[in-house]
């Protein structure tokens, strides 16, 4: 959703404090001049109205001071923002929005909202659900952990929770469809939490000054034009790499095109429009032996595996320092870690998506992390309808406005440095893409790691034979999951 800064602020502040009732001393536009300020306000009002119709449609209920209890994973990283709860207002935009959103829901349903953090939500859920203890109403945990434990019956099928409508626009439809097996869904992503956005993984830091020195125009503009591809990236990587000290060996004293690691392979597979798994006749199968994935791997091989141009962090940790010193063109990054690291860097850097396979590819794909925190409902709740109504209300009050608050907080508080940052941030969020094999790493882990290891050792050469070798292993794991889901209540 593309908006000017005026629209963002007005739409956000309309939710936080009311947008009307203020006067302005600004002069009226001259005759014939477009009234852009009025147009911005009109669009902001339309945005607010779009959200308000969902808020107005929420069911009425009085829960008589009920304590709605969230159990949330304690994310210790500095770049993963968790937006479920705020103790009080403190003048920070995101914090105050969360506080007032929760207050609005609390007042509507006559409830209190509380949140407790723990390092192992799934482990704690196992104990209290098995004991039949109605200890918490809503859980938020890494998606990989929920998927691993869902087969044990610890969570409600979200399609069966009264009050929750997974077709509403604050639910991520792509993740919903991907994670549904035989009409059962145990984790979903809602606009109420921006953590999955901070953890979007298919992104690159680009050293703008080095790119300019090499004779390239703004890489952000190339990305916004839809022309950012593997071939362009490889050309720039090759141009950037140089044996600065003349030693004949590329090491920490030289200049590189790319700083990457094993964790950056999967995001590029996804950015190329490919997935590790595909559905054929309703059955999931390995896809990394397909012609399309092999074609992507062939383009990725010289980008990631060429030691003359790329530092592989799993083997050469000094690559981080090379980038900080300004002697590397690209480095992979999550959104949250990028904006956090900008605080300590003197470099002129921007964030762009991982490249497309080619310009014919319709859109970019920024891979979602399997540490993204999703929403689920423990199977031991005594009143699922009450829980469903409250979760939906939190989603409705987050719809549209939460993303706008996130953009503004990220860009202003976290010190974005160029005028394209807003457009790029929107592009990354809008292109977020899940991959089931990545999400369910705890179940499919060996299948995934064998691909990553094989690709790093030999590029695309042995992927077809690897897929054939792992096909039966994957089928057994998948069948076990499907059988377990079939044994759980609808």
DSSP 333-394: --HHHHHHHGGG--S-EEEEEPPBSSTTS-S--EEPPTT-EEEE-BTT-S-HHHHHHHHHHH
Whose tokens are 């003349």? That residue is 246
Dihedral sign for Cα atoms in the order 113, 116, 120, 124: negative
| 2-49 confidence digits (pLDDT tens) | 344 445 445 555 555 543 333 334 344 444 444 544 545 555 566 678
What value does the mean pLDDT take over residues 102-130? 97
Contact 432, 366 (CB under 8 A): yes
Angle, CA 311 vertex, CA 306 and CA 314 arms, to 5°:
110
pLDDT value, residue 417: 55
DSSP-derived 3-state class of residue 27: coil
Residue 319 has pLDDT above 90, yes or no: yes
| 390-414 confidence digits (pLDDT tens) | 999 999 999 999 999 998 888 764 4
DSSP-derived 3-state class of residue 56: helix
Q: Which helix (H) or strand (E) holds 319?
A: helix 319-324
Work out the angle between the directed axes of helices 93-109 and 5-16 (0-180°, nearest 10). Answer: 40
Domains of the chain with bracketed CATH: 59-198+369-415 (3.40.190.10), 203-367+433-486 (3.40.190.10)
What are the beta bridge partners of residue 117? 72
pTM for the model: 0.90
CA gap 166, 391 in Å, rounded: 11
E-only strand ranges, 30-85: 66-73
What are the beta bridge partners of residue 118? 73
CA gap 469, 477 in Å, rounded: 14
DSSP-derived pairing of the beta strands 328-332 and 203-207: antiparallel
Angle, CA 133 vertex, CA 130 and CA 139 arms, to 5°:
85
Residue 444 has pLDDT above 60, yes or no: yes
Neighbouring residues of 155: CB distance < 8 A, sequence distance ≥ 6: 125, 139, 146, 149, 186, 187, 376, 377, 378, 379
DSSP-derived pairing of the beta strands 138-142 and 66-73: parallel
The separation between CA 252 and the C-alpha centre of its own chain, rounded to angstroms, equals 32
pLDDT value, residue 281: 82
pLDDT value, residue 58: 97
Dihedral sign for Cα atoms in the order 367, 371, 377, 380: positive
The token duo for 119 is: 């390092």
Query: In the predicted model, what is the mean pLDDT of the chain?
Result: 89
pLDDT value, residue 7: 52
pLDDT value, residue 337: 81
């Amino acid at each position: 959703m593309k908006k000017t800064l005026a629209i963002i602020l007005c739409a956000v502040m309309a939710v936080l404090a009311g947008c009307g009732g203020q006067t302005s001393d600004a002069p009226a536009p001259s005759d014939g001049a477009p009234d852009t300020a009025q147009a911005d306000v009109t669009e902001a009002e339309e945005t607010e109205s779009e959200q308000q119709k969902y808020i107005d449609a929420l069911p009425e209920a009085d829960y008589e001071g009920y304590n709605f209890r969230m159990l949330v994973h304690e994310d210790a990283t500095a770049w993963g923002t968790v937006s479920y709860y705020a103790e009080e207002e403190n003048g920070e935009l995101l914090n105050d929005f969360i506080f007032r959103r929760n207050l609005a829901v609390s007042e509507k349903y006559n409830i209190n909202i509380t949140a407790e953090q723990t390092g192992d939500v799934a482990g704690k859920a196992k104990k209290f659900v098995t004991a039949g203890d109605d200890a918490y109403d809503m859980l938020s945990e890494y998606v990989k952990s929920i998927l691993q434990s869902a087969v044990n019956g610890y969570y409600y099928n979200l399609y069966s929770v009264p009050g929750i409508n997974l077709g509403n626009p604050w639910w991520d439809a792509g993740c919903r469809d991907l994670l549904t097996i035989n009409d059962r869904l145990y984790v979903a992503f809602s606009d109420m939490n921006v953590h999955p956005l901070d953890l979007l993984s298919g992104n690159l830091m680009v050293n703008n000054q080095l790119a300019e020195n090499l004779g390239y125009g703004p890489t952000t503009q190339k990305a916004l034009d839809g022309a950012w591809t593997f071939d362009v990236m490889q050309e720039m990587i090759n141009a950037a790499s140089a044996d600065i000290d003349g030693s004949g060996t590329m090491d920490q004293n030289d200049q590189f095109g790319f700083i990457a690691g094993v964790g950056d392979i999967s995001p590029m597979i996804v950015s190329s429009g490919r997935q590790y798994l595909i559905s054929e006749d309703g059955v999931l199968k390995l896809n990394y032996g397909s012609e399309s994935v092999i074609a992507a791997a062939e383009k990725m091989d010289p980008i990631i595996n060429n030691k003359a141009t790329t530092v592989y962090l799993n083997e050469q940790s000094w690559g981080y320092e090379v980038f900080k010193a300004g002697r590397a063109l690209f480095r992979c990054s999550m959104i949250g870690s990028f904006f956090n690291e900008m605080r300590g860097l003197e470099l002129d850097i921007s964030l762009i998506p991982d490249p497309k396979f080619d310009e014919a590819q319709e859109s970019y794909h920024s891979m979602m992390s399997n540490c993204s925190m999703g929403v689920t409902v423990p199977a031991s709740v005594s009143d699922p309808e009450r829980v469903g109504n409250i979760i939906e209300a939190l989603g409705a009050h987050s719809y549209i406005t939460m993303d706008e608050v996130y953009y503004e907080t990220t860009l202003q508080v976290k010190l974005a440095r160029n005028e394209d940052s807003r457009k790029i941030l929107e592009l990354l969020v809008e292109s977020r893409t899940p991959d089931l094999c990545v999400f369910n790493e705890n179940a499919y882990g060996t299948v995934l790691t064998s691909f990553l290891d094989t690709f790093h050792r030999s590029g695309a050469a042995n992927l077809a034979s690897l897929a054939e070798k792992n096909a039966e292993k994957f089928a057994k794991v998948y069948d076990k999951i499907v059988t377990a889901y079939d044994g759980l209540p609808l």
